[in-house]
Amino acid sequence: MSAASPSTVSEESPRILSRELVLILCVLALVVLLALTALLSRMYHKKIHTLADAMFAQGEADEQAGQVKAALTDYRNALAYNPSNPLFQLHLAKALAAAGRGEEARSYLLNLLSESPGSGEVNLELARIAAHNSSLADAMRYYQGAIYGEWHSDPIAMRWQVRRELCDFLLSRGAVKQAAPEVIALQENTPAGDPARLKIVAQLLLRTQQWNRALEVHRTLLAADPNDEESLAGGAQCAFELGQYVTAMEYFDRLPRERREQPDLAYRYDMTRRIFAADPFLSGLVAEARAQRVAGALALAQTRAENCAHQTGQSLVQSPPQTDLQRVYQQGRDLQQDWAPRYLERFPDRLDAAMAYVFSVENASAAACGEAQGDDRALWLLGRSRSVVNQ
Amino acid sequence: MAAGPQPVCGEPVSEAPVVPVTVPVEAVAPAIVDSPAAGQENVRTRWESWMHAVFTLREDRFFLMLAVVIGVFSGLVVVCFRLAIEWTQITLLGASLSPSFPRVVLAPTIAGIVVALLAIHVFSRVRGSGVNQVKAAMYISNGYVPFGTVIGKFFVCALAIGSGQSLGPEDPSLLMGAGIASLLGRSLRLSQEKLRLIAPVGTAAGLAAAFNAPISAVLFVIEEVIGTWSAGVLGAIVLAAVSSVVTMRAFLGPDSLFRVPPFRLAGPGEVLAYAALGVAGGAASLLLLKWIVYARPKMQALPRWTEYFQPAAAGLLIGLIGIRFPQVMGAGYAIVDQAMHGQFVWQLLLLLAALKLLVTGFSFLSGTPGGLFAPTIFIGAMLGGAVGSIEHHFFPGLTATIGTFALVGIGTLFAGFLRTPITSVFMVIELSGNYTAILPVIISTMIAYGISRAYQKVPLFDLLARQDGLLLPSIEERREMTSFVVEDAMRTDGVLVAEPGEHIVEVARRAEANPEAALLLRMRPGEWWLLDRDDVLRLAPDAARTTTPIHAKSKGPIPYLFRDQGLGEALQVMGDWPVLPVASRADLAKLEGILTLADTLHAFRKTPKEEAE
């Protein structure tokens, strides 16, 4: 205390010394207490982490053994000792979700999400709960979060899997429009040399009616395995829907008969056959055969128009024509002589005009009386495909 | 403003010597150390200089430094206390949240007997509310908290809570903080005034560490222990709370007590949902209050020998309930966390709230030492979760999760039961680390607080103190006591203001016309003098043309007041002056009225009816 003024020292020395001593004792006590607390704390943390890990391991074992209730209790116990452990929380949430207690799981997952908003796993679990609750907007949001989120192991495969799950969910909800871009993204992220995934993509493309892309994927698959039935069937469906009946028939022909007759293919196969039988534009046909096919098509269209007019109570010869059907029918009536089989055979340039008339009649009939069946439908489909080709 | 009002709540004059705090080292130490001996001398000089600076600090500054030390000590002790509870619980009840049958009954029963023996024969002061013990230390025993009570609270409460008694560690923690602070204050021979204030400082440190919530701890001490925002102690309280929380977090981690998913209030309609929770919380807090208020005197009236068995009986009852509902045992924070994550259906939540209310009553009424904070949190969370679940059932569009309702429920019951509304709001935020719930919490807590006040006039801590035969000051009453200001007592008539240049005859004429009026001379803005009426009247008849009031006898300059100043403050300023001017804050030359001692005393005597008029 040499720095203090003499008067201060003389007046206050006992007090200063006393404080000095007490403070030194305080510091000593603090050091001892600190060391003791550190020791106790370390022992405690070691103990509870051991307990928590043991309970967590027990929970996992219970879960694997199918004892969900016991697993839940174990996870809860583990979490009680290590409340901020995200792995414990995630497992508990998963177990809760698996037990159908989505709302309880959701709470933990939201908590985890607030701590790590980019976690793919948490987003995926939340998406599944939202999907289970039929909450389309939430499910989409969380699935997107999972797709673009962080994955610790094999992120590419996980993202692909999540997107696939999203597509399945959307299609199961009938949200084809929302599913279509996701399926395209899935296709873009699928390696060409992975037939298993390509098959999944192809199926999803079929379900979202993206025929061109689906056909492309099926062709890739068939290039690797020309006899793969699913690919042939899928390719046939796509080709049929695209109006590529020759390709469709080629795939149908490569399929076993039993497969062709299955419900998903039978109708298309039947139609393709009918189209093949009616199409006058097929390559390799002689002029006579073409003329006969056109004549047959004209007769069919005529009958279809008459039946439709009868069904709807209108006269095909009404003048002036009021309906599309009347208008189309009357336009072709005056040319009937020119489209006699002999003239068609002699003047092949008339085939196109005659068939255009047939297609117009079929279209007008379909609009007035609903979709045609049988050969009429085959003609209508043929007309539609020709129209697409022309366009 | 030389003669302006003097500070009323200024820093108290230190009892420690006021000497230069630091001596520049350069002035003492040689510039160049050219030998080992000189080096040693240099170190010694520096050390002495530092020691001098520390030990000759003004007491206010020393008090602040001491607050940090108290905080660190309290933090360490609270960490050990919490570890002791956990160890005891694992040892006695097992590691699982659902203890096995023999343990669940035997542990609290046998521990109850040990607790009773310790509380009766070894640590006789461990029973009762820690808050009231701190208040008693502050208002009755000059800040003295026996250190034996700290030791007793530590061991007995750890045993009681760890064995499953439905009590919490916060109340013992705050008393431990106060006890440590008291011991340090006494050892360091602080002044009487500082010794009295040091208990709340320790209280804040203990509570902050127990809750991991420094702001709530500070607010609680202000709301419930001190009752005022005293600038003299606020800094120390904040420092102690912060340092204890930092210490605690160093060992137990920084995580909030509860983790609640964030949420948003979708629209004003949702406010009604929380208002409903406020009503339910108010009713539940009343129920708990009434249950304790009614049963405690009856328990105290039982023969003394029963005290040996009351904790054990409570433990047995709790154990029996715990066979089926182990969630109600102990502090129950893990269960609160589960409730916040929507783990219970509303029926179970309601049942747990009711059972916890019951078993907390058993534990507390049996005289088992421990706090009521944790059970309040538990009941509030369960009730909040139940109300939230029911509301979700009827209004599925509600955006808030069950966890949010549980969280708001905590604050609601806390406000209703402990009657500390501001603390309750901040506690919810700190406990959850989530600010999004603030609006619902405010709405709900205020409703619960209002209901509790309406149907239970005396707050819990005051009631407990009265039942124990202590007449501690009621902080709630003090907080809401009407504070009079100068405006309530001043008069605008009965005063004449003279100007320095005014002819004295004119002044005398006015004085004669108002024989009762005081005569004030306005020398310049902010400088007022009191004129001697008799002298003015004496000078006037023979006054020359140049005679002004300045020539008359006068006293001054006199202090002046403003109309918004407190009357207590005015009394201090008034001293021996018979009258004081009340000036305008906007214009110090403008007189708004005068204040006399008689007017001041009359204002204090006003009845509430008169006041309302």
Distance CA B321, CA B331 (A): 15
Nearest to B180 by CA among B311, B52, B81, B41: B81
Q: Shortest CB distance from A37 goes to which of B76, B253, B260?
A: B76
- SS3 (DSSP) at B613: coil
pLDDT of residue B363: 94
pLDDT of residue B12: 37
Binned at pLDDT 50, 70 and 90, residue B612 comes out as low
Domain assignment present for A108? no
Put simply, the answer to whether B261 touches A110 (Cβ < 8 Å) is yes
Preceding peptide of A117 cis, ω within 30°: no
**Distance in Å, alpha carbon of B495 to nearest chain A alpha carbon:** 52
Inter-residue long-range contacts of A221-227, CB under 8 Å, 24+ positions, other chains counted = A221/A195, A224/A195, A225/A195, A226/A254, A227/A254
Residues of chain B contacting A129 with CB distance shorter than 8 Å: none
**pLDDT digit string (tens) for chain A, length 391 residues:** 333 343 343 444 444 556 778 888 888 999 999 999 999 999 999 999 999 999 999 999 999 998 888 999 999 999 888 888 889 999 999 999 888 888 888 888 888 888 888 999 999 999 999 999 888 999 999 999 999 999 988 899 999 999 999 999 999 999 999 999 999 999 999 988 888 999 999 999 999 999 999 999 999 999 988 888 899 999 999 999 888 888 898 999 899 888 888 888 888 998 898 888 888 888 778 878 888 888 888 888 888 888 888 888 888 777 788 888 888 888 777 777 777 777 777 777 788 788 888 888 888 888 888 887 888 888 888 887 776 655 5
Domain assignment present for A311? yes
Residues of chain A contacting B16 with CB distance shorter than 8 Å: 12, 15
Q: Is it the case that residue B388 has pLDDT exceeding 80? A: yes
Domain assignment present for A255? no
Average pLDDT estimate for B549-570: 87
Q: Identify the DSSP state of B6.
A: P
Q: What is the pTM of this model?
A: 0.71
Please name the amino acid found at residue B45. Answer: T
Mean pLDDT taken over chain B: 85
Phi, psi (5° rounding) for residue B147? -70, -25
Residues A274/A279/A280/A285 CA torsion (nearest 10 deg): -70
pLDDT of residue A311: 83
A37, A58, A74: best to mutate for the B interface, most B CBs within 10 A:
A37
Domain assignment present for A325? yes
Where does residue B253 fall: left (phi above 0), alpha (psi -120 to 50 degrees), or beta otherwise? Answer: left
pLDDT of residue A13: 45
In this predicted complex, what is the ipTM? 0.74
Q: Maximum CA pair distance of chain A?
A: 142
Least confident of A280-289, B239-248, B338-347: A280-289
Q: How far is residue B121 from each of residues B15, B117, B127, B152, B291, measured CA to CA in Å? A: 40, 6, 12, 11, 28
pLDDT of residue B403: 83
For residues A112 and A122, the answer to whether their CB atoms sit within 8 Å is yes
pLDDT digits (tens, 9 = 90+) for B131-174: 889 988 888 888 899 999 999 999 999 999 999 999 999 999 99
Distance CA B244, CA A60 (A): 39
Number of residues that make up chain A: 391
Distance CA B55, CA A9 (A): 11
Binned at pLDDT 50, 70 and 90, residue B369 comes out as very high
Residues of chain A contacting B342 with CB distance shorter than 8 Å: 103-104, 106-107
pLDDT of residue B109: 95
Binned at pLDDT 50, 70 and 90, residue B535 comes out as confident
**Distance in Å, alpha carbon of B126 to nearest chain A alpha carbon:** 22
Q: In terms of C-beta density within 10 A (0-12 exposed, 13-18 middle, 19 or more buried), how is residue A371 classed? A: exposed
**Distance in Å, alpha carbon of A48 to nearest chain B alpha carbon:** 9
For residues B419 and B308, the answer to whether their CB atoms sit within 8 Å is no
**Distance in Å, alpha carbon of B168 to nearest chain A alpha carbon:** 17
Q: Is it the case that residue B17 has pLDDT exceeding 50? A: no
How many C-beta atoms lie closer than 10 Å to residue B229's C-beta?
8
Residues of chain B contacting A114 with CB distance shorter than 8 Å: 261-262
Domain assignment present for A90? no
Domain assignment present for A300? yes
Pairing of strands B561-562, B579-583: parallel
The two three-digit tokens of residue B243, written as one number: 């340092």
DSSP string, A230-245: HHHHHHHHHHHHTT-H
- Number of domain units in chain A: 1
Residues of chain A contacting B401 with CB distance shorter than 8 Å: 106-107, 110
**Distance in Å, alpha carbon of B254 to nearest chain A alpha carbon:** 10
Distance CA B340, CA B354 (A): 17
Q: Maximum CA pair distance of chain B?
A: 107
Q: How far is residue B581 from each of residues A142, B4, B522, measured CA to CA in Å? A: 71, 11, 10
For residues B175 and B149, the answer to whether their CB atoms sit within 8 Å is yes
**Distance in Å, alpha carbon of A147 to nearest chain B alpha carbon:** 22
User: Which of B270 and A58 is assigned the larger pLDDT?
Assistant: A58
A44, A62, A81: best to mutate for the B interface, most B CBs within 10 A:
A44
pLDDT of residue B53: 66
Give all strands (DSSP E) within B476-566, no chain letters. Answer: 495-498, 518-524, 527-531, 554-558, 561-562
For residues B369 and B154, the answer to whether their CB atoms sit within 8 Å is no
pLDDT digits (tens, 9 = 90+) for B163-216: 999 999 999 999 999 999 999 998 888 888 888 888 999 999 999 999 899 999
Angle at B496 between CA B493 and CA B501, to 5 degrees: 155
A110, A112, A115, A125: best to mutate for the B interface, most B CBs within 10 A:
A110
Number of residues that make up chain B: 613
B17 inside 8 A of chain A by CB: yes
pLDDT of residue B51: 67
Domain assignment present for A363? yes
Residues of chain A contacting B83 with CB distance shorter than 8 Å: 40-41, 44
Which residue's entry shows tokens 């804040």?
Answer: B204
* Percent of chain B with pLDDT strictly greater than 90: 45
Distance CA B519, CA B532 (A): 7
Distance CA A215, CA A219 (A): 6
User: Which of B232 and B5 is assigned the larger pLDDT?
Assistant: B232
Which residue's entry shows tokens 């007449």?
Answer: B471
Domain residues for the domain of A371 are: 287-390
Distance CA A300, CA B85 (A): 93
B29 inside 8 A of chain A by CB: no
Q: Is it the case that residue B11 has pLDDT exceeding 50? A: no
Q: Shortest CB distance from A2 goes to which of B48, B98, B403?
A: B48
- With b meaning 16 or more CB within 10 Å and e meaning fewer, what string describes A192-212? eeebebbbbbbbbbbbbebbe
For residues B16 and B54, the answer to whether their CB atoms sit within 8 Å is no
Domain assignment present for A316? yes
pLDDT of residue B156: 95
Binned at pLDDT 50, 70 and 90, residue B31 comes out as very low
Q: Is it the case that residue B4 has pLDDT exceeding 60? A: no
pLDDT digits (tens, 9 = 90+) for B279-292: 999 999 999 999 99
The two three-digit tokens of residue B36, written as one number: 């080992």
